[in-house]
Amino acid sequence: MKINACAALAAILFLSLSRISAAHVQDTVTVHNTILPVITDREHNVIAEFCIHNDSDSLLVLDNVNVRVSGPASSSLDRISLMYSGTMSVLYSETSSYVLRDAFRHIGAGQQIFCHPAYVMEQSSSGIRSKSSEGTGIALASGKKLIKGENWFYVSGSIDSRRIKNMADTFTLEITGISLNGNPAVILNEGSTEHRPATGVRQYMDDGVFVYRIPGLATANDGSLIAVYDVRHTSGMDLQDNIDVGMSRSLDKGVSWEKMKIIMDMGEWGGLPQAQNGIGDPCVVVDSGTGEIFVVAVWTYGLGNNHAWGQVGQGFSPEETAQMMIVSSKDNGKTWSAPRNITSQVKQKDWCFTLQGPGRGISMKDGTLVVPIQYQDASRIPHSGIMFSKDHGKTWKAYPGACPRTTEAQVAEIRPGVLMLNMRNDRKTGRVVYTTSDLGKTWTEHPGSEILREPVCMGSLLHVDAGSNVLGRDILFFSNPDTKSGRNHITVKASLDGGMTWPEEFQILLDEEEGWGYSCMTQIDENTIGILYEGSTSHLVFSSVRIKDIVKIPSLSMGCAYSDGMVLPMNTELHITGTACPGAEVRARIAGQDVSTVADSSGIWDLTLEPLDAGTGYEMTVASGNEELVFKDVAAGEVWICSGQSNMEFPLRGSYEARKYIEKSLDPDLRFYSMKSTLTTYGVEWSGQDASRVNNMEYFSPAHWENSAPGTASGVSAVAYYFGKMLRDSLNVPVGLIMNAVGGTTTESWVDREALAEKYPAILCDWYHNGLVMEWARERAALNMAKCSTGNRRHPFTPGYLFDAGIKPLGHFPVTGAVWYQGESNANNVESHERLFRLLVESWRKYWDNDSMPFYFVQLSSIDRPEWPLFRDSQRRLMNEIPHTGMAVSSDKGNRSDVHPIYKKEIGERLALWRLHDSWNKDIVPSGPLFREAVRTEQGVVVSFDYADSLKTSDGNAPECFELAGKDRIFHPATASLAGNVAVLHSDDVPDPEYVRYAWQPYTEANLVNESGLPASTFISEISSSVIHDNIIDGKRADEHDGLELKY
């Protein structure tokens, strides 16, 4: 549990202000359970702390303190002691004296405990143990006479490493009793904390060394742990100084470590002393194919005692610039080669200081070795990047970096061939994250860039493949000081969505106090990761953490749309899914069915139910172990997800003649699940708190199923309401509408980001400045983010965001199909939208595991925007191309200047016609006339249509808005005569027509309809004497298109 230090101080101050009389003693004591590594084989570790304020003139004695320890690691506790530290806390964060804080800084993080000036203490008592079913009880008899004022105590523990069964085990300690002058005090424990045994791999003055820093950690092929680090012999300074590279090896998963070896020492090269030949900042990488281990470090020559980072120049020689050196081991770290210089292979001549990671490199799935690097360009601007080897470490190569003003970085392969680089950002705005699919030739900023906190410190990144861990999930781990100031609160975080989000429940705090803060992680086995970090109680601390302790095992749960009153699809097999404890049985009951399954290793389960008849009054129960979910008032009928942007979001109350329909909206079998966005994007600048909610996917308010009634219907989507109402009236079955439209959103925001990365990666590149994206959408997003730090960069308009925030939370809730009204924010780039729309339909059908899921959409309406005719025709062609889709024409219901026309009833009902036609009655006409072909004849140009029996005009006048063009492609108005399903066109201005179009005005008053009164769609086509492809580009057929821009 993460302890709030401010809360602890507040509690202490409260106690200080709660004065007691001479006849009474303090009756309440607040206990702070510290979150610090419990270093094995060390006499004292601070486990819990409390302060007793004595304001009495009478004698006040602490009689005794009772504690209880429990948990797997409690058996390794060697001794529990009560320590008295006088008038001051032993914790750095609680130390009020500037002198003490400054002394701590100069002595260096992680000194032995008594080197801290504040640690002037005496042992008050040792424990007498008694065991019970709840753990081991320990009575700490004190008898300590308290001075007037503050009296600080802490419970100290020591762990015997020989008793440790698993370094990932933990224990808890609870102070159960405190007696003052024979009276029991009321104890306020600040929650239960899991304490972790840890190894002080390198501590102050081990082997006579003043400071150990800059950890690297890797797992050899034989399972050995290889730790590398700076050995800073005489001071804590960075290069240039007397620094070598040390290595320690553990053969028992981190419990114990072999004696340190110096594996890189440049001696007195060039006749200068070792202090002028420092080598450090190591990075270790294991070749998973050969087993060879490489360590790369940077050597600086000369420079006096100046800081090398600001002094090293360009060129290649040691006298000019820093040197990248490499050593290797072919026997799992037992012996090491002599250093080899690879500077000229990696560095470009005009680069200044060039060095590795530090930390850890990786071996890709194809065998490529990758090591993170950093360099200064000719202007001394730092960049992060990678170097790689295709020949098992013999030669190395690097391209220019990913991003300027970044330094120490770590790399992970998040998908086969795709590398993620997580970089220290010296601008302090958040960790910078980029990806590459070509070993660093090109880079793309990741949507999760600048979300993670940046204290200007190295961080560690580790990707654990689904096939290699107990949860069976791809997991990305990250560690660093989780703060924006100082280097405290060393935290390990996990992401299950490739770094898009880092949920708070997937985080573990290891060390809350101040240290140097660098860290490096490695996977130990399928259950465990290890971390070597610069801690507050030891220079280099090793901890082992179970993957399940970070990624918490889910309890029984299902997607957000599973709730009372829900509507499930009728007459089809139902696949319901959720999470439970891995391996646990999950059972579902409904309508006499009783089916069960077992949750997989990731905790995911999936059950198939037999089709339900249309109706209401069902009850569904899902149970696992002692957990049970009961859903009442369940209906079976038609279930549709209704999505898009503002014209789908447009409320019923704003539509034409809304009042009379709202008054008649009472219908318990028309049900809504309305997901409302929590933030508007219209003309506002968000606060930092707003942006943080967006980053955390908290963009939609919690929703629940509601029955249609005037109070609920008035605020739901008008198009969705009229769509659902027509299905209710026509089919007489329950209808459920899941509505999650968000105004202004782009198509790409609703597409699964993995699909975009695979099939349209260009749309992911620097979205805020990407020319493929409509400028209006980018400007709107930038305005919303204007007051926010750039560390909060995710926005509802950005690629994949609403798929993550608005689709995935549904938990694969079964639906009949989707209706969609969107495109306004993508109308500027037809070609891009066509790719995105195909991916939208594809990714939704993949998510719902239904290749034939109906997907009905609205063609954009009429408005004075010049690009819209082309967009409308593109939508028509997409309908013809993608199976199981249908398009509702809306051009007759537009508004010349308002992008939100109020005539929504007709649009919703036109969408419903497609559903009724496709699945219930083929005789229903689902659409207005849709262009089929245009043929040149002696009578004129004959244009034939589908869904066009008895063509006519909506106003009884002659057909309008037909146009013909010759080879010059200059269009002229054409007269039209109607007969059956054809229109015969003629224009005196075009004697030899080659092209035809209809309703091509942005705001069109075209009047062609079919017998049902449904309007014809905008179209453009070549004319032929035979059937041809109907989509042309610059006068060419689609199959002749050579990449020119779309123009007509």
At the fourth CATH level, which superfamily is domain 688-919?
A: SGNH hydrolase (3.40.50.1110)
* H-helix or E-strand spanning residue 830: helix 830-847
| Distance, C-alpha 446 to centroid of its chain | 10
Alpha-carbon distance 1007 to 958, whole Å?
Answer: 8
Q: What dihedral angle (degrees, nearest 10) is formed by the CA atoms of 140, 144, 146, 152? A: -40
**pLDDT for res 501:** 86
pLDDT tens, residue by residue, 74-102: 999 988 888 887 787 877 666 543 333 33
How far CA 207 is from CA of 71, 79, 226, 246, 262, in Å, comes to 35, 27, 19, 11, 11
The model's confidence at residue 285, banded by pLDDT at 50, 70 and 90, is very high
Alpha-carbon distance 628 to 622, whole Å?
Answer: 6
Q: What dihedral angle (degrees, nearest 10) is formed by the CA atoms of 450, 451, 456, 457? A: -120
CATH code of the domain made up of 199-548 = 2.120.10.10
Alpha-carbon distance 57 to 23, whole Å?
Answer: 9
DSSP per-residue letters across 418-458: EEEEEEEETTSS--EEEEESSTTSS-EE-TTTTTS---SS-
- The answer on pLDDT for 19 being more than 50 is no
Among 545, 546, 540, 544, residue whose Cα is nearest residue 216: 540
296: its two tokens: 């790369």
**pLDDT for res 135:** 58
Lowest pLDDT segment from 96-105, 129-138, 310-319, 788-797: 96-105
Q: Specify the 3-state DSSP secondary structure of 875.
A: helix
Identify which has the larger pLDDT, 98 or 58: 58
Q: Specify the 3-state DSSP secondary structure of 695.
A: helix
pLDDT tens, residue by residue, 835-854: 999 999 999 999 999 999 99
pLDDT tens, residue by residue, 188-247: 776 668 999 999 999 999 999 999 999 999 999 999 999 999 999 999 999 999 999 999
**pLDDT for res 296:** 99
Lowest pLDDT segment from 82-86, 331-335, 812-816, 1025-1029: 1025-1029
Identify which has the larger pLDDT, 988 or 183: 988
**pLDDT for res 799:** 94
DSSP per-residue letters across 533-552: E--SSSSEEEEEEEHHHHSP
In CATH terms, 5-195 corresponds, of 2.60.40.10, 3.40.190.10, 1.20.140.10, 2.60.40.1290, to: 2.60.40.1290
**pLDDT for res 191:** 63
- The answer on pLDDT for 1029 being more than 50 is no
- The answer on pLDDT for 985 being more than 50 is yes
- Each residue of 767-796: b (16+ CB within 10 Å) or e? bbebebbbeebbebbeebbeebbebbbbbb
DSSP state of 729: H
Residue 51, burial from CB neighbour count under 10 angstroms (0-12, 13-18, 19+): buried
Among 510, 861, 563, 624, residue whose Cα is nearest residue 719: 861
Alpha-carbon distance 486 to 478, whole Å?
Answer: 18
Mean pLDDT confidence for 375-401: 98
User: Do 484 and 454 meet the contact criterion of CB atoms below 8 Å apart?
Assistant: yes
**pLDDT for res 343:** 98
Alpha-carbon distance 808 to 619, whole Å?
Answer: 25
The model's confidence at residue 22, banded by pLDDT at 50, 70 and 90, is very low
Alpha-carbon distance 45 to 43, whole Å?
Answer: 7
DSSP per-residue letters across 153-167: EEEEEEE-GGG-S-T
Reduced DSSP (H G I as helix, E B as strand, rest coil) percent helix, strand, coil of the chain, to 5: 20, 35, 45
Which residues are within 8 A (CB) of 1046 and not within 5 positions of it... i.e. 6 or more apart? Answer: 830, 831, 870, 1033
> Does residue 1033 come out as left (phi exceeding 0), alpha (psi in the -120 to 50 range) or beta?
beta
**pLDDT for res 87:** 80
**pLDDT for res 2:** 31
DSSP state of 102: H
Amino acid at 168: A
Residue 676, burial from CB neighbour count under 10 angstroms (0-12, 13-18, 19+): middle
How many angstroms separate the most distant Cα atoms in the chain? 119
Q: Name the percent of the chain lying above pLDDT 90.
A: 73
* H-helix or E-strand spanning residue 104: helix 98-107
Alpha-carbon distance 142 to 440, whole Å?
Answer: 63
Q: Specify the 3-state DSSP secondary structure of 1038.
A: helix
Same fold, 5-195 and 199-548: no
**pLDDT for res 27:** 63
Give the position of tokens 């609870």: 174
Alpha-carbon distance 444 to 764, whole Å?
Answer: 7
- The answer on pLDDT for 111 being more than 80 is no
pLDDT tens, residue by residue, 231-252: 999 999 999 999 999 999 999 9
- Tell me the torsion sign for CA atoms 920, 926, 931, 933: positive
Identify which has the larger pLDDT, 691 or 1013: 1013
- The answer on pLDDT for 137 being more than 80 is no
Amino acid at 392: H
**pLDDT for res 601:** 72
Q: Map out the domains of the chain as residue ranges.
A: 5-195, 199-548, 688-919, 930-1040
**pLDDT for res 710:** 98
**pLDDT for res 427:** 80
- Taking all residues of the chain, what is their mean pLDDT, rounded to a whole number? 89
- The answer on pLDDT for 128 being more than 80 is no
pLDDT tens, residue by residue, 539-566: 999 999 999 999 987 789 999 999 999 9
Lowest pLDDT segment from 67-71, 324-328, 431-435, 818-822: 67-71
pLDDT tens, residue by residue, 574-594: 999 999 987 889 999 999 999
Among 607, 622, 599, 617, residue whose Cα is nearest residue 573: 607
845: its two tokens: 């059908």
Residue 530, burial from CB neighbour count under 10 angstroms (0-12, 13-18, 19+): buried
Mean pLDDT confidence for 763-779: 90
The model's confidence at residue 470, banded by pLDDT at 50, 70 and 90, is confident
- The answer on pLDDT for 1036 being more than 80 is no
The model's confidence at residue 1043, banded by pLDDT at 50, 70 and 90, is very low
pLDDT tens, residue by residue, 324-357: 999 999 999 999 999 999 999 999 999 999 999 9
Alpha-carbon distance 792 to 447, whole Å?
Answer: 10
User: Do 418 and 435 meet the contact criterion of CB atoms below 8 Å apart?
Assistant: yes
What are the start-end ranges of the H helices in 859-904?
868-881
Start-to-end CA span in the chain (Å):
63
Query: In sequence order, what are the beta bridge partners of 158?
Result: 79
Convert 3-35 into a string of H (helix), E (strand) and C (coil): CCHHHHHHHHHHHHHCCCCCCCCCCEEEEEECC
The model's confidence at residue 1, banded by pLDDT at 50, 70 and 90, is very low
* H-helix or E-strand spanning residue 523: strand 519-525
Amino acid at 154: Y
Alpha-carbon distance 489 to 200, whole Å?
Answer: 18
Alpha-carbon distance 552 to 28, whole Å?
Answer: 34
Question: φ and ψ at 56, to 5 degrees?
Answer: -100, 145
**pLDDT for res 581:** 82
Question: φ and ψ at 278, to 5 degrees?
Answer: -75, 150
User: Do 427 and 328 meet the contact criterion of CB atoms below 8 Å apart?
Assistant: no
Task: Give, to the nearest 10 degrees, the angle between helix 905-919 and helix 718-731.
Answer: 40
**pLDDT for res 821:** 99
DSSP state of 613: P
**pLDDT for res 789:** 59
Known catalytic residue at 94: no
**pLDDT for res 81:** 86
User: Do 383 and 424 meet the contact criterion of CB atoms below 8 Å apart?
Assistant: no
Beta-sheet pairing, 186-189 with 28-33: parallel
Alpha-carbon distance 258 to 942, whole Å?
Answer: 89
The model's confidence at residue 269, banded by pLDDT at 50, 70 and 90, is very high
The model's confidence at residue 407, banded by pLDDT at 50, 70 and 90, is very high
- Tell me the torsion sign for CA atoms 913, 918, 921, 923: positive
HSE of 839, CA atoms in CB hemisphere, 13 A: 25
Identify which has the larger pLDDT, 785 or 17: 785
Q: Which one of 408, 512, 834, 933 is the catalytic residue? A: 408
Q: How many CB atoms lie within 10 A of CB 937?
A: 9
Q: What dihedral angle (degrees, nearest 10) is formed by the CA atoms of 987, 993, 999, 1001? A: -90
User: Do 303 and 330 meet the contact criterion of CB atoms below 8 Å apart?
Assistant: no
